[in-house]
């Protein structure tokens, strides 16, 4: 049964249970400082391994991963505190120190991969057979040996590691500007409410029920970004150029080839995603026409894309969202549900927006011996409730992986990460639909599901095409400017949303949207949202239809962590992402959802006709 719905009171002083408890990582700043000193000193202990790795393999790998685990824990503590208030210079400084420590660790261990390459894959296999204690490191060893063609000599590997903080600098600069220092405008909505359009506020008010408010929000927010697009372009150009320098240095023909090789992903995954998504654009255009009809407009605008397909003031307190997430997870069994409840009870999450807080939402699972942490900017609507389920899908993945795998194999690839989060969203949608009390409520959740698929699949594939375009430009020696980025983004945007076909009008002034998206700094990250939701759709369908072995296969995927290549792990779970099948299946799922909506619309129209 659905819980009662009412608007949450977003207090300026959240309850203790609404703030994460970072003292579980380190009890105080002083303890963190002791950890920093200890980790920095531990780097020197790795030096005797240089030139001797083949004969000291087990002891050197054990010590290296112990130090790595501590460095990750230090960074989790500092960076999450910094996310609480991006304006706080002290915490930003601590976060930067932890980031530098990570770079120092990478530099201190830069000789590991070259020396493993020198052993050769036969030598690695022989060592694994002779030394049972190397079992936790088997995937790392085999992966390093397979990367011989792209591994540099120790001196150049050390130099690349030393430069790693500079690789993250453009994204950090962009974050400081976008989340802390950019003077976002304050607008007055139709109901008299005055709103400062920060990035978090924009994500809430872009879905305003009145079209005039949506136009005001879009024009004001993107107008503010346009004033700084030269700065955003400079940081994105620096970041993308850095990706290309790394790729060339390691002997890759393109940046995307280098990025995908990090997880040994077949390049066919990217090309198949783009090609199949373009083939399935008629499904997206059908959705957009449905959206126009539901909104009662004949000229669908880009600013209309986030208004709910079905109106309704459905609000959820964070406690209700937690309860719904738990209830929807019931098909996963007792172990999964109990661990989820523990995460809610043990303060894994920081819930509400605060002045200066990092925008959006994320899960940080790097503190292996503690637990995952979730940052939210909870707004009280269904999208916020769905985002909570999404982020705790990530958290469950990290928690189950950490429980099941040694540290060296617990960290899973991004390619798999978004499978767990979108799987949790699919469970939530199914739960809401099954418990809907009438067709109106059912329409609301069907519309939300459609919007989620549009945003997580088609939108992310669109962003993936743009990311391919900007890297291609840099690889040809073309600088990225505000105007050139606008042009490339608008070209993809108008093609996806059917500007030429008259489906949606995309005003060129919204081409600056590229500056709003931090993921472009992550080096080919966004395509994995699209691949992941395609995979999770198939996996969730198997679980929800009670296909034999489906729950065990999915839990096996989560518990596997990073114990094998992500492509292999997904194939073992039953999904081959190098084929068109998952993407075609997702398009069919969207069509089925639209069939249901149109069926309810037809039923309502007939009922209305009979009443007349």
Q: Which residues are catalytic?
A: 391
Residue 196's SS3 state is strand
Q: How far apart are CA 340 and CA 320, in angstroms?
A: 14
Query: In the chain, what is the straight-line distance between the N-terminal and C-terminal CA atoms, in Å?
Result: 34
Q: How far apart are CA 123 and CA 138, in angstroms?
A: 12
For residue 521 the two structure tokens come to 């700094």
For residue 146 the two structure tokens come to 């397979």
With beta carbons less than 8 A apart as the criterion, state whether 160 and 70 touch.
Answer: no
Measured CA to CA in angstroms, residue 200 lies from 50, 128, 272, 384 at distances of 48, 49, 33, 11
Phi, psi (rounded to 5 degrees) for 110: -65, -20
Q: Angle of helix 281-295 relative to helix 268-279, nearest 10 degrees?
A: 50
> Cα 198–202–206 angle (5° rounding)?
165
Concatenate the DSSP letters of all residues of 28-86 into one string. SHHHHHHHHHHHHHHGGGGGGGTTTTTTSHHHHHHHHHHHHHHHHHHHHHHHHHHHH-T
Q: How far apart are CA 216 and CA 208, in angstroms?
A: 10
Q: How many CB atoms neighbour CB 559 within 10 A?
A: 16
Q: Angle of helix 154-162 relative to helix 89-108, nearest 10 degrees?
A: 180
Residue 5's Cα: distance from chain center in Å? 28
Region of residue 51 (left: phi > 0; alpha: psi -120 to 50; beta: else): left
Q: Angle of helix 268-279 relative to helix 527-544, nearest 10 degrees?
A: 80
């Amino acid at each position: 049964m659905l819980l009662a719905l009412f608007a949450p009171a977003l207090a300026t002083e959240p309850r203790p249970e609404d703030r994460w408890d970072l003292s579980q990582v380190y009890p105080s700043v002083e303890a963190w400082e002791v950890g920093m000193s200890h980790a920095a000193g531990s780097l020197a202990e790795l030096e005797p391994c240089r030139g001797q790795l083949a004969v000291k393999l087990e002891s050197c790998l054990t010590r290296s991963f112990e130090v790595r685990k501590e460095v990750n824990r230090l960074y989790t503590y500092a960076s999450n505190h910094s996310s609480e208030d991006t304006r706080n210079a002290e915490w930003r400084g601590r976060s930067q120190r932890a980031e530098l420590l990570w770079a120092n660790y990478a530099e201190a261990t830069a000789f590991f991969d070259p020396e493993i390459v020198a052993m050769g894959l036969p030598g690695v296999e022989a060592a694994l057979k002779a030394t049972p204690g190397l079992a936790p490191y088997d995937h790392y060893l085999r992966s390093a040996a397979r990367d011989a063609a792209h591994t540099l000599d120790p001196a150049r590997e050390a130099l690349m590691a030393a430069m790693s903080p500079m690789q993250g600098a453009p994204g950090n600069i962009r974050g400081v500007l976008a989340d802390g220092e950019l003077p976002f405008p304050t607008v007055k909505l139709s109901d008299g409410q005055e709103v400062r359009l920060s990035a978090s506020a924009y994500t809430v008010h872009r879905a305003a029920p009145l079209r005039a408010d949506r136009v005001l929000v879009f024009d004001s927010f993107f107008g503010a970004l346009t004033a700084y697009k030269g700065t955003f372009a400079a940081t994105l150009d620096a970041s993308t150029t850095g990706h290309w320098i790394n790729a060339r240095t390691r002997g890759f023909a393109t940046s995307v080839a280098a990025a995908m090789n990090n997880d040994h992903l077949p390049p066919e995954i990217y090309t198949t995603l783009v090609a199949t998504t373009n083939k399935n654009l008629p499904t997206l255009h059908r959705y957009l026409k449905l959206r126009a009809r539901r909104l009662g407009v004949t000229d669908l605008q880009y600013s209309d894309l986030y208004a709910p397909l079905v109106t309704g003031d459905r609000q959820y307190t964070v406690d209700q969202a937690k309860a719904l997430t738990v209830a929807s997870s019931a098909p996963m069994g007792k172990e999964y549900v109990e661990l989820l409840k523990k995460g809610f009870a043990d303060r894994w999450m920081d819930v509400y927006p605060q002045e200066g807080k990092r925008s959006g939402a994320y899960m940080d699972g790097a503190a292996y011996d503690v637990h995952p942490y979730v940052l939210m900017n909870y707004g009280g609507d269904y999208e916020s409730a769905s985002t909570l389920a999404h982020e705790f899908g990530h958290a469950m993945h990290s928690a189950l992986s950490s429980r099941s795998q040694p540290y060296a194999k617990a960290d899973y690839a991004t390619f798999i990460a978004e499978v767990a989060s979108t799987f949790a969203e699919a469970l939530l949608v199914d739960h809401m639909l099954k418990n809907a009390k009438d067709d109106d409520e059912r329409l609301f959740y069907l519309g939300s599901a459609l919007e989620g698929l549009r945003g997580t699949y088609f939108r992310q594939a669109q962003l993936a095409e743009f990311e391919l375009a900007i890297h291609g430009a840099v690889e040809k020696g073309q600088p990225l400017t505000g105007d050139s980025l606008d042009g490339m983004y608008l070209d993809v945007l108008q093609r996806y949303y059917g500007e030429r076909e008259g489906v949606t009008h995309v005003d060129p002034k919204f081409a600056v949207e590229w500056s709003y998206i931090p993921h472009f700094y992550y080096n080919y990250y966004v395509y994995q949202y699209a691949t992941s939701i395609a995979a999770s759709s198939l996996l969730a369908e198997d679980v929800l239809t009670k296909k034999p072995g489906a729950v065990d296969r999915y839990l096996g995927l989560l518990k596997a962590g990073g114990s094998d290549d992500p492509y292999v792990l997904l194939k073992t779970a039953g999904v081959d992402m190098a084929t068109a099948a998952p993407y075609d299946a997702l398009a069919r799922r969207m069509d089925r959802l639209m069939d249901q909506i149109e069926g309810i619309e037809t039923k309502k129209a007939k009922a209305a006709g009979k009443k007349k």
